[in-house]
Structure 1
Amino acid sequence: MAVAERSGARRPSSRSIVVVLLLVVMLIADGGVEVPRAEGLSIGINYGQIADNLPSPSRVSWLLRSMQVSKVKLYDADPHVLSAFLDTDVEFVVGIGNENVSAMVDPAAAQAWIQRHVQPYLPSTRITCITVGNEVFKGNDTALKANLLPAMQSVYQALAALGLQGRVNVTTAHSLDIMGTSFPPSAGAFRADVVPYMQPLLGFLSMARSPFLINCYPYFAYKADPGNVPLAYVLFQPNAGVTDTNTKLNYDNMLYAQVDSVYAAIQALGHTDIDVKISETGWPSGGDPDEAGATPEYAGTYIGNLLQRIEMKQGTPLRPSVPIDVYVFALFNENLKPGPASERHYGLFYPDGTPVYNVGLRGYLPPMDYSRGTRSKSSELDKSTYVSLSSDKLRKRIVVDNDFDHCGFTWPARIVEVILMASRSQKWHHTDSEVELTEDWGGYAANARIV
């Protein structure tokens, strides 16, 4: 996919009348159009791609920006995705897969990886963190476990050599099964077999000022023992909670208890200066018959209540003044993921952009490309179709060019209300027959002819 055009792209002519619709901030709720908060959502979203039916990255870029999502986590460094988000101010976590971790031990390989997958996109795409491996200690690959920290160190040193130290963090994401003890939270401790790896890894994170990433799924606890795990406790619903007998802190939900148990385990190894971030959490909307609780109702309740707490900037009982930092899993249902059926039902959205359940997260997914040969002549430059561009108090009636193809889709001729948030600089240039809006949302240019 080609990198998106920059500001100052082609000017309009009598034949080509172009409107680049950037930031069509359409949160369609209750049949209306709602402009989202300018500051964006505080939550991050995992963008996995183990599927054969997902929309193109450029269309996904529109979807996420229309939702005002400001943080995205990848499991690789897909160049198509990173290109689609050039100059959008969306913050990215990119990943080095487990299959490539051992190769990263070689400093030259680590530097080459960054030069190919990270450096070309900076600063236009905001890559702020690299995860080296994912849930490495969940498996039995002893070589992978031994190579994890040296690989992280090589990547960190390569960033420094390229002048990127301090701009891009280096860390890894862990499964909660690294914990030997997780309750009460204050007694949290890593598994004995993990400690020899974890001790020096924590030293690295402390030195590099990088976060500790943990994948937390209260759903797994409920699925394993639905008769004894209170549903309200895992879904953030009103309940009496559980009190830590050591600290006397009360926990009204399992997720916060899991996070604080990780903090306790880190502190037990001598570190109090490492932030814990939730790199994955979610709830499946479907599953196999033996997967208790995998329903749209429970998934919507879990995500909806979690979103409310995040927007309240709530911290855990152990660290109430530190808002939890969460990446929800996942953006889409991924139909090729292996394992039980629930693994293919964690998405907030279906591939066509419609929500799997209603938690107030609604965005705009542009239409797919269609062949120029399928359009009728009457649809070309139909002057009854227009777009209304609002810029402060200035509004111009303009014609949409049906032949304009940008960001992986062609905008069809129809009436659309485009609201350009007046939070950044805008310049209008006039000629006798044309008006050109040049704006810097994402570095695109919006060009239009007066009708």
Structure 2
Amino acid sequence: MAAFFSRIEMLHMLIVFSVFLSGSGFLRGIESFGINYGQVGNNLQPPEKVLDLLQSLKVSKARIYDTNPQILTAFANSSIQLIVTVENGMLGVLMDPQAALQWVSTRIRPYFPATRITGIAVGNEVFTGDDTTLMTYLVPAMVSIHGALVQVGLDQHIQVSTPNSLAVLSESYPPSAGSFRSELAGIMPQFLQFLSSTKAPFWINAYPYFAYKDDPTRISLDYVLFNPNSGMIDPYTKLHYDNMLYAQVDAVIFAVARMGFGGLEVRVSETGWPSKGDPDEVGATLENAAIYNRNLLRRQLGNQGTPLRPNMRLEVYLFALFNEDLKPGPTSERNYGLYQPDGTMAYNVGLSALSSTSSTSSTSVSLTSSATQVAKMGYQNLVYWMFVYLLAVQTLMGRPF
């Protein structure tokens, strides 16, 4: 009998722990949300002020586009998890393992762990650039950098990957048709194999804005802005999509799976909406930017997953923290920021309110659908584990001891 109760107690502890894990999403807040901190501006705040801004917004993740020592120093002993970047021009040099070790030893090791560097983005949108030689540098450079992290004992703390443009796909609609461009057939398996062996994510820069700008008569603005809409149903999977971002992410997941790497996590390294554009940049308005980013933040607060992976929260990095007034290209390129370079607000998406919402706040009322979904999942998990518990008890009581 003592052995029986010992087993019951152990089973009880296991079930309670499982229920706790299944409900832990309530405590995560917006840990699945980060922001891109670009520096192509002539009036930017010093890194110490930027850190204060991020902390006031309760943002815990950021990505920079270099290894700026001023930022790495300023962010030391803070709560910010930081992804740093190897510039495209460095890839050819860092293919050499000794050069990669030197780079890691001077650009990463001196700042870690005081500065919480969690990822290294090796290049940016290399697979969709015009430099085919640069493409051949990418995977060897990633292998060398990861090898250097192993040598200095940081490989378990820092992931190595690269952000990709959505243009790596030849097909993205419907999501289940997602597939990579044929010209990447040789290099993509090498890249995916590296991610799989190092347990790193596939990063994608996904901008529904571009799809809407290119075809505003056929693409619903509400669909791309996360507003209420009828959405679309994938004819093959029968999954329902009420926004384009999730459809784009699932298209990438299908493309990765077609290459034999269905277990890889896909994360969004960039997404956003410009608040201003040229006359031919349809939809680039302050109102649309505020709506897109506000609705996205609400989804992140609810720790939502995509229809294909509803129980895996989607990690998203918003582009961008600042308008960068020195960026080349169309007007939209300089107007993705939540803030002006001097730190004044470009428009208010209510980020600090969203991250500190309480059950009695007005913000929480607007989050009802997301919160209800999370609560429903938690309740279903609880019922499931109670059923398993009772079934196990019944089985144990029927067995001799």
TM-score normalised by the chain length of structure 1: 0.71
Structure 2 counterpart of 1:219: 209
Matched, 1:249 2:278: no
Q: Per-residue CA shift, 1:281-302, capped at 9, x if unaligned?
A: 0000001011001111000000
Tell me, yes or no, if the aligned pair for 1:41 and 1:68 is still in contact at 8 Å: no
1:228 aligns with 2:218: yes
Matched, 1:296 2:286: yes
The corresponding residue for 1:55 is 45
Q: How many residues align?
A: 327
Q: State the SS of the aligned residue for 1:180.
A: strand
Q: CA deviation at 1:40?
A: 6.1
Matches within 5 A, 1:398-409: none
Q: Structure 1 residue 198 and structure 2 residue 188: aligned?
A: yes
Q: For residues 95-106 of structure 1, what are the structure 2 equivalents within 5 Å?
A: 95-106=85-96
SS of corresponding position for 1:69: coil
Residue 61 of structure 2 aligns with an amino acid whose one-letter code is K
Q: Which amino acid aligns with 2:228?
A: P
The root-mean-square deviation of aligned C-alpha atoms, in Å, is 1.3
- Paired residue for 1:344, among 310, 334, 337? 334
State which of 155, 164, 169 in structure 1 corresponds to 2:159: 169
Larger radius of gyration: 1
In 1: Cα distance, 2:287 partner to 2:160 partner: 37
The structure whose residues are more often strand, as a share, is: 1
- 1:306 match: 296
Which letter does structure 2 place at the counterpart of 1:73?
Answer: R
SS at match of 1:320: coil
Q: Deviations over 1:300-347 (max 9, x none)?
A: 000000000010011100000011100000000000101100000000
Alpha-carbon separation, structure 1, partners of 2:210 and 2:286: 16
- Retained in 1: the 8 A contact 2:44–2:343? no
SS of the residue corresponding to residue 162 of structure 2 reads strand
Q: In the TM superposition, what whole-angstrom CA distance separates every residue of 1:59-99 from its partner, at most 9, and x where no partner exists?
A: 11111111111000011111100111111021010000101
Say whether 1:287 aligns with 2:281.
Answer: no
Aligned runs of 1:7-86 on 2, under 5 Å?
Answer: 42-86=32-76
Once the two structures are TM-superposed, the CA of residue 228 in structure 1 deviates from its matched residue by 1.0
CA contact (8 A) 2:58 2:352 kept: no
Partner of 2:82, secondary structure, is: strand
Please name the residue that 1:358 is paired with. 348
Deviation at 1:38, TM superposition (A): 10
**Which one of the candidate residues 316, 325, 328 is aligned to 2:318?**
328
Q: Which runs of 5+ in 2 are unaligned?
A: 1-26, 354-401
Q: Which runs of 4+ in 1 moved over 4 A?
A: 37-41
Is 1:126 the counterpart of 2:116? The answer is: yes
Structure 1 residue 110: deviation in Å? Answer: 0.5
For the Cα contact (< 8 Å) 1:355–1:362, is it kept in 2? no
Partner of 1:422: none
Give yes or no for the alignment of 1:265 onto 2:255: yes
In 2 relative to 1, CA 255–38 (structure 1 residues): closer, same or farther, beyond 3 Å? closer
Deviation at 1:165, TM superposition (A): 1.4
Distance (whole Å) between structure 1 residues aligned to residue 346 and residue 31 of structure 2: 19
Whole-angstrom distance in 2 between the partners of 1:42 and 1:94: 18
Deviations 1:351-396 (A, max 9, x none): 2322212211359xxxxxxxxxxxxxxxxxxxxxxxxxxxxxxxxx
Match of residue 229, structure 2, among 224, 228, 239: 239
Secondary structure at 2:35 match in 1: strand
What residue is the counterpart of 2:142 in the other structure?
152
* Percentage of identical aligned residues: 52
Deviation at 1:42, TM superposition (A): 3.8
Q: Which amino acid aligns with 2:310?
A: P
Cα distance in 2 for residues equivalent to 1:103 and 1:190: 28
2:3 is matched with none
Question: With structure 2 as the length reference, what TM-score do the two structures score?
Answer: 0.80
SS of aligned partner of 1:110: helix
Name the CA distance, whole Å, in 1 between partners of 2:352 and 2:148.
40
Q: CA deviation at 1:278?
A: 0.1
3-state SS of the aligned residue for 1:45?
strand
* Larger helix proportion of the pair: 2
Structure 1 gap segments, 5+ residues each: 1-36, 364-451
Equivalent residue number for residue 22 of structure 2: none
Indicate if the aligned counterparts of 1:42 and 1:69 stay in contact, CA closer than 8 A.
Answer: no
Paired with 2:322 and 2:229, the residues of 1 have a C-alpha distance of: 31
Deviations 1:39-63 (A, max 9, x none): 6654100000011111111111111
